[in-house]
Amino acid sequence: MSLALDTAHPAAARLDSGAPARRAARRGLAFVAPAALLLLAIYILPLVMLGLFSVTDYQLGAVATRFTGLENFRRAAADPVFLRALGNTLFYVALVIPGGVGLGLGAALLVHGRKRSRGFYEVAFFLPVTATLVAMATVWQFVLHPSLGPVNAALGWLGLGPVGFLSDPDLLIPTMALIGTWQIAGFNMVLFLAGLSAIPKDLHEAARLDGARSAIDRFLTVTWPLLGPTTMFVTVTTSITAFKVFETVAVLTQGRSGSETLLYALYLEGFEYFDTGYAAALTLIFLVLVLLLSLGQTLHFDRKVHY
């Protein structure tokens, strides 16, 4: 009898010890559930619906729809407007990434060494980030006006003819890239300032004692390698922001020929022509391009980053 009781006690003890673990697991699931539901509602379900719409000929407001398979994607591959928008976007991104990263780094290096005036310059450079891009695009429209704008007035004073920054098809994308670089450089400057502040000053002193006398030598041997993680993050975020260019196109050019971008093409197909199925296919292509670019940049920089 005593042997039976002794053998029953370990099983009972195991059952009792498992109850708190189950209660803790249920509490953990209860805490995770709101975030998981939000993730499902905001990201997962819209992506699923986007994928479903992309293989149909659904028109906004239509009662019935038809499964078309990959027809929308084949249509995109032969659509001259979409191909032109894709080329313009890639050209825009290729201009904004080096400009936004380089200007942000240069401004951070100039501001980091200042004492009294550092706060003023931080606010001055960061102000374009806080401004509404639609309103600032209107200001740029006046600044670049061929007859009323101060830029062309300065060019006329130098003896140069007026330049149609917003009317010449060859200058539309470079002009918008200049505006995009101006708008994002302040945000990148703040990120680089955080990276510069994390670099110990002792390393610069050690580099100076080892023979790195000039500021350029110390930048190349100490500052630039240690800014690797910050540079990787800034480059990826800048490329994603550049791919999402929309406001400047909508305000400055209204998407006329030579200035189409991917997001503006999506807007026209989905909200002007109400071709929801085709717009969903273009959106998937857009998301895949951004994902591939971000992954490629991350993998490329990660091999060279010193953590």
For residue 2, pLDDT beyond 60: no
- Nearest in space to 189 (alpha carbons), one of 130, 105, 114: 105
295 assigned to some structural domain = yes
What is residue 62's predicted lDDT score, i.e. its pLDDT?
A: 76
248 assigned to some structural domain = yes
Average pLDDT score over residue span 108-127:
83
Q: Percent of the chain scored above 90 by pLDDT?
A: 28
What is residue 211's predicted lDDT score, i.e. its pLDDT?
A: 73
34 assigned to some structural domain = yes
Residues 168 and 239 in one domain: yes
Q: What total of structural domains would you count in the chain? A: 2
- Tell which wins on pLDDT, 188 or 166: 188
For residue 96, pLDDT beyond 90: yes
What is residue 287's predicted lDDT score, i.e. its pLDDT?
A: 92
For residue 3, pLDDT beyond 50: no
Residues 34 and 139 in one domain: no
Mean pLDDT, the chain, rounded, equals 84
109 assigned to some structural domain = yes
Domain extent for 11: 1-54
Average pLDDT score over residue span 192-210:
82
Residues 35 and 152 in one domain: no
Range scoring the smallest mean pLDDT among 51-60, 253-262, 269-278, 297-306:
297-306
> In whole angstroms, what is the distance from residue 209 CA to residue 111 CA?
25
What is residue 18's predicted lDDT score, i.e. its pLDDT?
A: 67
Average pLDDT score over residue span 278-299:
90
212 assigned to some structural domain = yes
Residues 146 and 41 in one domain: no
Residues 48 and 117 in one domain: no
Q: Which long-range contacts (CB under 8 A, 24 or more apart) does 82-91 make?
A: 82/265, 82/282, 84/257, 84/260, 85/260, 85/261, 85/262, 85/264, 85/265, 86/262, 88/173, 88/258, 88/259, 88/260, 88/261, 89/243, 89/245, 89/261, 89/262, 91/173, 91/177
The CATH number given to whatever domain includes residue 99 is 1.10.3720.10
62 assigned to some structural domain = no
Residues 29 and 131 in one domain: no
Residues 47 and 191 in one domain: no
